[in-house]
Each structure stands twice: as C-alpha cells, then as structure tokens.
Amino acid sequence: MRAMIIGRWQPPHKGHIEVAKQILREVDELIVGIGSAQESHTLENPFTAGERVLMLTRALAAAGIDLSRVHLIPIPDVNNNAVWVSHVISLSPPFEIVYSGNPLVRRLFKEAGFKTKIQPMFKRKEYWGTEIRDRMIKGGRWEELVPKAVVKVMREIKAVERLKDLSKTDYLLR
Ligand code: ATP
Ligand code: MG
C-alpha cells in the first residue's frame, strides 16, 4: 500500500520525521507532497520547493528511513479546492490512503473516495512550522526543533538571514 502526506514543510521538523516513521510502519511506501511548491521567499513560505526537497531527503535519510520507500513530489497551488485532488493525483505516483492533520485536506480526499487517516501530533506546541519560523526571526532557539540535517541545509542557504530580511519593512526608510 502507498500513502500520501501533504504539507508545506516550511521547514521540515522533528514532528514531521516522527510522522513519516510512524506511517512507514503501517504502509509500504510514502509519497510526500510538497504543497505550495511555487512559493518561496515569503514569511509563510520562506523556502523553495528544491530547498525543501533537500531538507526532507537529508532528514529522512538521517532518521534511517529507506529512501526507496519515499517519493517527494512538488505540488504547486491551484487555488481551487474543487479540482485540487485531481491536480495532486495528476502529479503523484498512485496512492490509496491519505494521512493529514488538516481537516480540509481530509475532507477533499474523502469526497474523492480516498481512505483518510489522522496521524498523531508530536509535541505540537514546539514541533510546528509557524513556531520555528517565528523563533528564527526573533533569534530564539529553533535548532532543537528540527533534525540536525535540516540545521545543516539551513546554514548552507543562510536561512536565518533570509527570514530576518523577509520580516523587515521599508515603512520607516527614507
Ligand atoms: P505550518 O505552521 O507552517 O503550517 P506545520 O508544522 O503545520 O507548519 P505542515 O507542513 O503544515 O507543518 O504539515 C505537514 C503535515 O504534518 C500535516 O499533515 C500536519 O498536520 C503534520 N504535522 C505538523 N506538525 C506535526 C507534529 N508536530 N506532529 C505530527 N504531525 C505534524
Ligand atoms: Mg500546517
């Protein structure tokens, strides 16, 4: 059986890796859909799809996950919920089950006839993309919330510098 999990992975964190391990105990292969793939360099979506692929690949491998069981698929937004599932299907290897914490994602796939499942949340208050991006901007301790492999890629792409720049405004410049 092949399962799909979709997220924006901005960035991938330790909760995501736990979920991947857990799902791979239940199914043979996991498709990781990289949502909002066209987005980058915004506060919500600071990293490109390619950067997210790199972070995910490294972190999954470092967690001992056999990468031949994982497929990473960038999925750009279509901004049309009614056709979104067909769009995802058109870009992905075949799958039978969808794991998501997001109620809208579950609803859309359920209506299209897919089996859906909620995965458990791991330390959601900390292992949460929004919290990590916030700490990066404010100079807090974010490194402990993501796998070491992700810290390494973040350093390579100067992620903190990028986020801090993105959070600035030209309002008071003259
Ligand atoms: P953001 O705050 O940017 O939305 P996020 O942490 O929710 O970040 P997503 O990329 O939106 O990350 O999530 C991808 C998938 O991982 C979703 O199905 C989401 O419910 C799930 N997920 C997110 N955080 C955790 C966690 N701590 N434990 C388990 N699953 C998680
Ligand atoms: Mg989310």
Instruction: Please tell me if the CB atom of residue 126 comes closer than 6 angstroms to any atom of ligand 1.
Output: no
Mean pLDDT of the region 115-140: 95
What gap in Å lies between CA 156 and CA 146, rounded to an integer? 15
Q: How confident is the model at residue 173, as a pLDDT?
A: 60
Q: Which atom of ligand 1 is nearest to the CA of 13?
A: 6
Could you report the per-residue pLDDT of 13-63, keeping only the tens digit for each?
999 999 999 999 999 999 999 999 999 999 999 999 999 999 999 999 999
Query: Which residue has its alpha carbon closest to ligand 1 atom 26?
Result: 15
Domains parsed from the chain with CATH numbers: 2-167 (3.40.50.620)
Distances (CA, A) of 131 to 57, 104, 139, 161: 22, 21, 12, 17
Closest residue by Cα to atom 29, ligand 1, is 121
